[in-house]
Amino acid sequence: MFMWPVEVGRPASIWVLSLAINGSFMEDLCKWPIWWCLPAFVVLVLASGVLPARATGQAFDLKPGQRCLDCHGELNEKKTIHPATEGGAACAGSCHKQDNPARHQFTALPQPIGQLCLECHDDPVAGQHRHKPAADGECIICHNPHQSEQAKLLREAIPDLCFTCHGAQLKDSQGIDLPPTKRLFDDSQAQLHPPFAEGDCLACHRPHASDNIRLLVAAYPSGFYQNYSETAYALCLSCHDAEAFTAPRTLTATAFRNGNLNLHVRHVNKEKGRGCRACHSPHGSRQPHLIVASFRFGERTLGFSYETTDNGGSCAPGCHVKVVYDRLAPINNLLRATPRAGKDASVEELRSQSGAQKIKSK
């Protein structure tokens, strides 16, 4: 006896479509016209007890997950599964609304996706600065609502997920350009900030919202000038040693020094100190030590030329004339914008540190 391949609980529309598509196949088997086989087919289905609820008029039974996963089992297979999807138990209760209990008829989503997610999840955009997809309630731009091979139901692994948007030129809410970071990430000639080189965007940025600029996880100078404090530089100091910015004289805390004169302190730790971004790119640069090629000062863009030597280097930004520094043989530069605290190290002291160039903060 011919038995039609069936699945329990299939909606009638699917059965009719299957019959239309496979009618010629059934006719080949029966060797009879299709309109003769159809009544026999219905009898067989009735006898097997699997006629869809929509066809019989019986209630479409949505007992814990059975009917959903009979047809939608592919939504319950990957590494990370949304709890509302897992086992199919909450499909029609948590996210999808059954409009008619006698029919396989659902409202895709009973409310906008962002509001629906907040029925269970805490508000992720509680912060002064908000990631645009999260602020717009477009959770599914980054997250798959059912399952994923990634943690947190992310559609792709980070940083590839971030690059789906940040691979292009974007603007923030104030119209300021956001550089296409993927281009820099793929630049073989660029020196990258270690977290960025590892694709660890979340080391510095929050994915949904933050009270810090650029969704940063901690405070970071937002402007060109910044009075120094460990609070204001909390993000940088979560990795870099604060002594590099507080000790006027040092032989170990930083490699940016002229003899033992700490040039980081002279730039940063003073009234109207220069913020990190005045000299460094937070993601990467083709210049050594993440030095920027140019920087914004008011309405102007100023160039920044930097070169390294075996024991130091030179810089010629738009701020001042070219200045050279050397860790072992300090240069007597004429440029002295502020008094120099402390005492110069002796030649012997400098030479004793000649092998100690690999330090935590440069």
Verify that 300 and 347 share a domain, yes or no: yes
pLDDT grade, residue 39 (50/70/90)?
low
Is the residue at 261 inside a domain? yes
Domain stop point among 165, 180, 215: 215
pLDDT at 341: 76
Residue 182 shares a structural domain with residue 252: no
**Residue 85 counted as domain residue:** yes
- Report yes or no: 323 and 333 within 8 Å, Cβ to Cβ: yes
Residues 176 and 139 in one domain: yes
User: What tokens appear for 262 in the block?
Assistant: 């700490």
- Decide which of 103 and 138 is more confident: 138
| The 3-state secondary structure of the chain, one letter per residue | CCCCCCCCCCCHHHHHHHHHHHHHHHHHHHCCCHHHHHHHHHHHHHHHCCCCHHHHCCCCCCCCCHHHHHHHHHHHCCCEECCCCHHHCCHHHHHCEECCCCCCCEECCCCCHHHHHCCCCCCCCCCCEECHHHHCCCHHHCECCCEECCHHHECCCCCHHHHHHHCCCEECCCCCEECCHHHHHCCCCCEECHHHHCCCHHHCECCCEECCHHHECCCCCCCCECCCCCCCCHHHHCCCCHHHHCCCECCCCCCCEECCEEHHHHHHCCCCCECHHHCECCCEECCHHHECCEEEECCEEEEEEEEECCCEEEEEECCCCCEEEECCCCCCCCCCCCCCCCCCCCHHHHHHCCCCCCCCCC
Region of 66 please: left (phi>0), alpha (psi -120 to 50) or beta: alpha
Q: Are residues 302 and 283 in the same domain?
A: yes
Residue 195 located in a structural domain: yes
pLDDT of residue 337: 65
- CA-based torsion, 232, 233, 235, 237: positive or negative: negative
- Tell me, yes or no, whether 133 and 207 share the same domain: yes
Residues 27 and 90 in one domain: no
Q: Which residue has the higher pLDDT, 31 or 253?
A: 253
Structure tokens at 56: 């019989």
Q: What percent of the chain has pLDDT over 70?
A: 74
Are residues 291 and 208 part of one domain? no
Asked whether 248 and 254 are in contact (CB, 8 A), the reply is no
Shared domain for 326 and 248, answered yes or no, is yes
Does residue 61 fall inside a structural domain?
no
pLDDT of 24 over the 60 cut: no
pLDDT reported for residue 297 = 82
Domain finish residue from 56, 76, 91:
56
The pLDDT score that the predictor gives to residue 40 is: 62
Q: Are residues 135 and 101 in the same domain?
A: no
pLDDT, tens digit, 9 for 90 and up, residues 312-330:
999 988 888 899 999 999 9
Q: Does residue 135 lie in a domain region?
A: yes
Q: 231-276, pLDDT tens digit by residue?
A: 999 999 999 999 999 999 999 999 999 999 999 999 999 888 999 9
Query: Does residue 49 sit within a domain?
Result: yes
| pLDDT for the residue 251 | 93
pLDDT surpasses 60 at 359: no
276 with 311, same domain: the answer is: yes
Most confident residue range from 22-26, 86-90, 104-108, 189-193: 189-193
Residue 276 lies in a domain: yes
Lowest pLDDT segment from 51-55, 102-106, 294-298: 51-55
42 and 88 both lie in a single domain: no
Q: Total structural domains in the chain?
A: 4
**Considering the domain boundaries, does residue 221 fall inside one?**
no
| Both tokens assigned to 329 | 């043989």
Residues 348 and 247 in one domain: yes
Host domain of residue 85:
66-110
> Any idea which residue has 């204001």 for tokens?
232
The whole-chain average pLDDT of the chain stands at 80
